[in-house]
Every structure is written in structure tokens, then in C-alpha cells.
């Protein structure tokens, strides 16, 4: 049997105040899965934190692109996008 890593198995007891509706839904899920409420809340929190981390990373990447391309003109941006502007005849 494999042992869990020490950081994965560390837990800390705390008291939370949760919305009644959310708590009721979590209790129903726990009963349906035959696990305790702590498992459901921990999984939900871990899932949320993973999504939040991805959102923060996406925002950092977008800021980087904006900074990298902020000095280009509209015509230069078209060229970067692979669009060749038509030359105007005088």
C-alpha cells in the first residue's frame, strides 16, 4: 500500500460559517457518496482553488501579451496577425 505524502495528509480542524443552502447541498452529496461532510467540503474547496489558480495564471498571461504588444500600431498588429494590408494607390 502506498503512503500519502505528508503534506497531502496534513489536516487542521476549524469552524466555518456556511450558507444554509450550500451546506444542505453538501450534506446531500455526502450522503449520496457515503462520505462525511468534511470530504465533500474539502473536495469542493480544492476544486475551486484549482480553478482560481488557473484564472490567475490566465490573467497574468493576458497582461504579458498586452504589455508585449502595446507599442504596435493597428497596421503592425494586422501584419503580426498574418493579414497583409492593401497598399493604397495615389
Residue 11 lies in a domain: no
Residue 60 lies in a domain: yes
Residue 68 lies in a domain: yes
Residue 2 lies in a domain: no
Q: What is the model's pLDDT at position 34? A: 97
Residue 47 lies in a domain: yes
Q: What is the model's pLDDT at position 78? A: 87
Q: Give the chain's domain count.
A: 1
Q: What is the model's pLDDT at position 63? A: 94
Per-residue pLDDT of the chain (90 residues), as tens digits, is 555 555 667 889 999 999 999 999 999 999 999 999 999 999 999 999 999 999 999 999 999 988 998 988 888 888 888 888 777 666
For 56, the domain range is: 20-80
Q: What is the model's pLDDT at position 56? A: 96
Helix/strand/coil (H, E, C) string of 25-85? HHHHHHHHHCCCHHHHHHHHHHHHHHHHHHHHHHHHHHHHHHHHHCCCCHHHHHHHCCCCC
Residue 35 lies in a domain: yes
User: Could you tell me the pTM of the whole model?
Assistant: 0.64
Residue 15 lies in a domain: no
Q: What is the model's pLDDT at position 4? A: 57
Amino acid at each position: 500500500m502506498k503512503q500519502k505524502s505528508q503534506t497531502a495528509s496534513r489536516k487542521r480542524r476549524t469552524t466555518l460559517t456556511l450558507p444554509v443552502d450550500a451546506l444542505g447541498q453538501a450534506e446531500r452529496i455526502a450522503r449520496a457518496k457515503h462520505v462525511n461532510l468534511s470530504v465533500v467540503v474539502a473536495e469542493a474547496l480544492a476544486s475551486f482553488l484549482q480553478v482560481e489558480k488557473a484564472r490567475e495564471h490566465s490573467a497574468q498571461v493576458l497582461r504579458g501579451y498586452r504589455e508585449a504588444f502595446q507599442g504596435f500600431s493597428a497596421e503592425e498588429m494586422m501584419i503580426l496577425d498574418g493579414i497583409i494590408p492593401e497598399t493604397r494607390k495615389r
